[in-house]
Amino acid sequence: MNDLSCDKIHIRELRARCIVGIFPEEREKAQEVELNITLYADLRRPCRSDNIEDTVDYKCVKTRILELVENSSFFLVERLAQAVADICLDTPHVEAVTVILDKPGALRFARSVAVEITRTKYHE
């Protein structure tokens, strides 16, 4: 995937609460995470057709991601980011995805810790 060959849809600052972390206190109650997701897709057809069937239904993507995250219990933010990427890649028209997952307050003296992964549908 060449960054210039695909159009992008951004889902910015999607917040959810989940269990994520390796320490006992992190496993007791849900913590907030913030997701920034870039969906790579060829948007030329929907740009001409103005038809939802020709594009990525980002509301559906958001709903599936929130359901996953809010019901998850991963130890690593890396694994949670991969699970989000898997949902995105399972969506029609999405060719690749970049997921940035922030965990606010994960480190003392830092606003957050973030993991960024990029995955493609055809080159796993």
Range of the domain at 97: 7-120
Query: Quick one: pLDDT band at residue 107, thresholds 50, 70, 90?
Result: confident
- In this structure, the dihedral spanned by the alpha carbons of residues 55, 85, 4 and 34, taken in order and rounded to 10 degrees, is 100
pLDDT of 11 above 70? yes
Q: Write down the residue that tokens 């695909």 correspond to.
A: 6
Residue 87 resides in a domain: yes
> pLDDT confidence of 104, banded at 50, 70, 90?
very high
Identify whether 46 is part of a domain.
Answer: yes
21: in domain: yes
What is the tally of structural domains in the chain?
A: 1
**Catalytic positions, written as ranges:** 103
- 66 phi and psi, to 5 degrees? -60, -40
- Indicate which CATH number applies to the domain containing 53: 3.30.1130.10
pLDDT per residue as tens digits for the range 13-59: 999 999 999 999 999 999 999 999 999 999 999 999 999 999 999 99
Q: Distance between CA 42 and CA 34 in Å, rounded?
A: 26
